[in-house]
Amino acid sequence: MTATEEQQLRRALHGTLGSVSPPPVPLEAIARRGKVIRLRRAGAAVGTLALAGLVAVTGLALRGSQLPAVPPAAPAITAGPDGVFASGTADGRPWRLAVQNIADPGYRCLPAIVLNGTDADPVYPAPGNAASVGLGQAVRGVAFAFIQLPARVGGIIVNGQQHVPAVIVNSCGYRYRLVGFSYSLAGALRITLAKPYPGWPTDVFVPTPATVGGSTPAEGLWINTYTAPGATASATLASGTLPGGQGWIIKLQFDAGGDCYEFDGQNSTGSTQMGYCGPVSTPAGPETIMALPLGFDEPGAGATGYAFQVSPGTARVRAVFDNGSSVLATPRIVDGRKYVAFVVPSPRSLHRLTWLDAAGRVMASTTAVPRYGYTQFQP
């Protein structure tokens, strides 16, 4: 090779190296409110090209670093048409977790993760979201949880022993990748990935119900790391005026935190309110009857607001008071689900609830009604 040829080769090499751009750095972050787990794919190292040397006769050798291999999509089990992705036995009782539509027939599909056909958690696909729920004395000392996983995580390990594989569930046009399990409330809960994944934390955070005396104070209410967009609805269920002239209104907020009701009252001296959340049920599940007592400044003034979700076939609910008088409550549709609300003014109390169909026939009736808090009744 002549001196002139070697100079031309060096100039060509210099131009080639100058034209090479670093490859982009892939980055994927999933953030959530509250105690957030940030799960992100490790950024690939930027490749660099380096000149290894010049060989007079054989030419040039270029060596470069390679992007680290991205784990392929991990295999997963696919759930059946019932949407069940986890099941087992806890405190001697069988349990199952499933993704189901909890809207009434004929309305937009509303997906939720459901424990034993009730106690629903309306959530949309959101990898990184996790939640748990306790059932109190119904299943003592045990809670249940799920985690939404991305495609490249094939499962988790619970407390270093139990391997739980990912399950794919298709529901309401969405695709979920889930793990579900039960765990004891007696000790700490530790969740780790079945296999390390670049950029992911060693431990995965799952919120757990606070315990008081071995039972969960919020029975049937899911505790979520965050609520995905679209899983919240709110509406006014009923309003009116009490015999003493006080105005009242009962509102609903429906989301992953439960069926949350607010009873507001107002008179000439100001306003007062009472609110509480109850478990979300399915159309065929038990109805959570919520009682919200509310007092006013005037002596003897006050009322108790009642609100609850009702079954799809319910056309009216008759509320009978202790003196034999009654009111008829008409359901209000909120996000494809029927709710009723009414008030019982002081000094009256609620004696009986009766569910009526469109023809006025009695579907169910009960006198097991709460004075405050909530109770569940299966019509």
pLDDT, tens only, 46-74: 333 232 332 333 332 323 334 344 556 66
- Please report the pLDDT score of residue 92 as a whole number: 87
Whether residue 317 contacts residue 379, with contact meaning beta carbons closer than 8 Å, is answered with: no
Which tokens sit at 101? 């539509």
User: HSE on the CB side for 128, CA within 13 Å?
Assistant: 20
Whether residue 349 contacts residue 322, with contact meaning beta carbons closer than 8 Å, is answered with: yes
Mean of pLDDT over the chain: 80
Does the pLDDT at position 76 exceed 80? no
- Backbone dihedral region for residue 78 (phi beyond 0: left; psi -120 to 50: alpha; all else: beta): beta
Residue spans of beta strands (DSSP E) within 46-109: 49-55, 59-64, 77-78, 84-90, 93-101
Q: Which helix (H) or strand (E) holds 233?
A: strand 233-241
If you average pLDDT over residues 286-295, what whole number do you get?
Answer: 93
26 pairs with which residues across the strands?
none
Higher pLDDT, 3 or 89: 89
- Please report the pLDDT score of residue 211 as a whole number: 55
- Please report the pLDDT score of residue 72 as a whole number: 63
Is the pTM here over 0.85, yes or no?
no
C-alpha closest to that of 181 among 155, 200, 202:
155
User: What digits encode the pLDDT tens for the residues 153-173?
Assistant: 899 999 999 999 999 999 999
Does the pLDDT at position 149 exceed 70? yes
Whether residue 307 contacts residue 340, with contact meaning beta carbons closer than 8 Å, is answered with: yes
Does the pLDDT at position 237 exceed 50? yes
- DSSP 8-state code for residue 162: E
If you average pLDDT over residues 247-255, what whole number do you get?
Answer: 94
The residue assigned the tokens 């997906």 is: 111
User: What digits encode the pLDDT tens for the residues 344-371?
Assistant: 999 999 999 999 999 999 999 999 999 9
> What distance in Å separates the CA atoms of residue 164 and residue 156, rounded to the nearest whole number?
5
